[in-house]
Structures are given as structure tokens and as C-alpha cells.
Homo-oligomer: A and B are copies of this chain.
Amino acid sequence: MREIIGGVCAPRGFKAGGIWCGIKASSKKRDLGLIYSEKACTSAALFTTNRVKAASVQISQKHIAGGKLHAIIVNSGNANACTGEAGLAAARRMAELAADAFAIAPAEVAVASTGVIGVPFPIAVVEHSIGALANSLQGDESGHSAALEAIMTTDTRRKEFSVEITIGGVPVRIGGMAKGAGMIHPNMATMLSFITTDAAVSRELLEKSLRRAVQRSFNRVTVDGDTSTNDAIIIMANGESGAPLIAAENDDYAVFAAALEAGCITLARAMARDGEGATKLVTVTVHGAADEQTAEKLAKAVAGSSLVKAACFGADANWGRILCALGYSGAEFDPAQTTVRFQSPAGAITVCSGGEAAAFSEEQAKAILSEENITILIDIGNGSGNATVWGCDLTYDYVKINGDYRS
């Protein structure tokens, strides 16, 4: 697997674009994007588990049921959630507009939205701009970049990847983008991710590989299964690489699934680092747990603890808060067998051993925790289960951003 450029346009046969159509009325930043494949794509998707689902999610769930997509149309600046029948009509209309532009069926278009909840959706500006959007498509890095910019809201960093692997001797590419940056409860902010590949993959295995990759990446960006009204991740596989179809769980599948998982982890880590107001990426790795599920539960409690996050911001080696978070995680473990280490490019120290304070230099701890990439390593001493979760620190700016989001 090697990194290449191009994002969602790296795989053959995909074009993308993004424009400003007027939904972000004041900022005039790009707010409407499109990803398109001339050849119909085997597709799979995962959506929010929130009971309140955006109109775009409801429409896309129907369209994805068919298993084939040509395009994804996406807007930022308005979530089109809690907008009733008018919202559903607008989401349906977005799919129609994209379908008409490329002479495909509306059911072959997925729709995604991100932005403020509860504001009527201004479908007229999308209608007005669909021609310009279609004309903006490009099959290279610049098309990818324009589409990526069109999905960003409070994001301050680009989240993207593209890699090349070999399937049956043929080069196969996978590319992706994501947006999302609301990280105390990460999934309360919308997470969108779109992934393209020129691999040929059966619907069943495409969905299976996506589900597994998401479980080990986006679902491990702090805290729990809470999801916003709009969360969606969609993958499109058009087979344009000419590589053999992946239709069984063989070596080809393993190579594809591993690359997809690595790509999703790249996007998920970038989301954690871009947590609203965050200054640090905090990686929490639990090992020695009874099993992977237990390790994940313990790691999520630590990465999701506001007190741990605030201590990371202050570079304060307050490991007691870590023990406390482990203690309320709901997972079985023996505090007296627990070891906690802090690691960063500046060094590594054990701060807690056997559930009690280890002798360590506060000065060294401060230096380690002052780095931008911090790892909290926790050994439960009880088995071989391990899991890694990504979070960020909690800062003044988180409050600033969220205290006045709408204006």
C-alpha cells in the first residue's frame, strides 16, 4: 500500500467539484459539492443511529438500498434536519437535480447535508446553481479539493487520503474525504465521509469491509455511539481499475479491507486532531484487557472524559482522573493491576503502577504532555485484548466555537 495524491479523484473514473451556491449566505465559502462516476458504482453506506434523522439521510437510505450509485450531492451550511415535509421534498429535489444534470436516475444519487439544524432548506439556490456545479467537475486533485472544501464547516484542517494497492497484479486505488470537528461528544457534530475506489467489489463485501473499517476508526473517535442527525459515510466502487472482482473473503479482500481500514483511520485521526478548539491529538491505547470490546470500552471512557481532556490541555499529569474514568467505564478490570504511561515525541514515563502513584518527574511529565501528539498507554494486566481510541484536549476555544455557532 502506498500513498498517492488525488483524494476521491485518485481512483479512475471519478470526478468531483464544489462551488458556492448561497447556502452559506454570509461567508461565501463553498457550500455545494458533487462526486460523480460515469460508470454505475456498487455502493454501501452507514448512517446515523440518531432517532432524529436529517431529510438527506432519510432519502439516501432509500437510494442506497438499490445498491448502485452514480453520484453524491452534498451541501454545507444547512443540515436540512427537523425541517419536516418541506425538508424531505428539498432532499428529494437535490437528488433529482443531480440526476437530471447527468441523465441518471434520482435513486442513483445519494444526498448529504451538514450545518445548522431546524432552518428551512433554501432549495432554490441549489436549483439555480446545479449547472455551475456540474460544469465544475474535474477528475483530479483540484476537483477533489473543491468538493472537500464544500463539506467543511467548523473544520480547520483537511481530512483526506488516497492510496494504491495491488489486486490480482493490477493497481487499485482508494480515496476519501471527511468532515467533522465537534469533539467533546464527537458524533454530535455531523460527520460526513465519502470514499471512492476503482476496485470491483461485491455489494456484500463492500458493506462488510466498510462496517469493519468504521468500527475501528470513526467509531473510536472518543466517547460512544452518539451520532448527530446527519452522520453518513458512503463508499462507491466503480471497478474501473480492471482488477478482478472481490466476491469472496480471500487474500484480495484482506488487502482491500486493510487499505480501507487504514484510510478510515487516517480520516478519523484527523477528525480527532481537529476537534473544535483542540490543540492536541490524544491517542488512548488500552492493552491487556480481557478482550477487544472491553479494551475499547475502557479507552473510550478515558478519551471521552472532560476532566482528562482538560488535564491534557493543561499538560497536567493528573493520572487519577484516568483511573477514575476507567472505574466508571462499566468494564470489568482490577485497578490494582493497572499501569498508566504517558508517551510523546518528548519521552515516555510511567505515572501509575499497580493502581498507585509511580515515582515520576513532574517536569518530565509536563514536557511529554506539552507535545501536540500525546499517547496515554494503559495496561490492564488481564488478557490480550487491545484497542486504540482517538480524542483531543478540551480548550477555551471549544467553548468559544460552540457558544456562538449559529452566528
Q: List A residues at the B interface (Cβ < 8 Å).
A: 49-53, 79, 81-84, 116-120, 182, 184-185, 187-189, 225-229, 305-307, 310-311, 313-314, 316, 318-321, 323-328, 332-333, 335-336, 352, 354-357, 394-396, 398-407
CA distance A182 to B321 in the complex (A): 12
CA distance A222 to B225 in the complex (A): 19
A357–B188 touching, CB < 8 Å = no
B50–A320 touching, CB < 8 Å = no
Interface-centre pick from A226, A318, A324 (highest chain B CB count, 10 A): A324
B323–A229 touching, CB < 8 Å = yes
21 contacts between A and B (CB under 8 A): A50-B328, A79-B320, A81-B323, A82-B356, A84-B336, A84-B355, A117-B320, A117-B323, A118-B356, A182-B307, A184-B184, A184-B306, A184-B307, A188-B328, A227-B328, A229-B324, A306-B306, A310-B402, A311-B403, A316-B405, A395-B399
Given A51-B333, A310-B403, A316-B405, also A356-B84 (CB < 8 A): yes
CA distance A285 to B366 in the complex (A): 43
- CB-CB < 8 A to A400: which residues of B? 396
Q: With CB as the reference atom, state the residue of chain B lying closest to A354.
A: B84
- CB-CB < 8 A to A306: which residues of B? 184-185, 188, 306, 398, 402
Query: Closest CB-CB distance, A222 to chain B, in whole Å?
Result: 11
Q: With CB as the reference atom, state the residue of chain B lying closest to A79.
A: B320
CA distance A313 to B325 in the complex (A): 26
- Beyond the given A116-B318, A311-B403, please list 15 additional residue pairs across the A-B interface where CB-CB is below 8 A: A50-B328, A53-B327, A84-B354, A84-B356, A117-B323, A119-B357, A120-B357, A184-B306, A185-B305, A188-B325, A189-B307, A314-B404, A316-B403, A395-B399, A399-B399
Query: Closest CB-CB distance, A79 to chain B, in whole Å?
Result: 7
Copies in the complex: 2
CA distance A324 to B118 in the complex (A): 10
A407–B316 touching, CB < 8 Å = yes
CA distance A340 to B229 in the complex (A): 17
- CB-CB < 8 A to A49: which residues of B? 328
Q: With CB as the reference atom, state the residue of chain B lying closest to A312.
A: B403
A81–B320 touching, CB < 8 Å = yes
CA distance A398 to B404 in the complex (A): 17
A335–B305 touching, CB < 8 Å = no
CA distance A320 to B394 in the complex (A): 23
A324–B396 touching, CB < 8 Å = no
- CB-CB < 8 A to A83: which residues of B? 356-357
B398–A399 touching, CB < 8 Å = yes
CA distance A320 to B320 in the complex (A): 36
CA distance A336 to B355 in the complex (A): 49
- CB-CB < 8 A to A335: which residues of B? 51-52, 82
Query: Closest CB-CB distance, A97 to chain B, in whole Å?
Result: 23
- CB-CB < 8 A to A187: which residues of B? 328
Query: Closest CB-CB distance, A400 to chain B, in whole Å?
Result: 7
The 10 closest A-B pairs by CB, nearest first: A117-B320, A314-B403, A310-B402, A52-B327, A184-B306, A50-B327, A118-B320, A226-B328, A51-B327, A314-B404
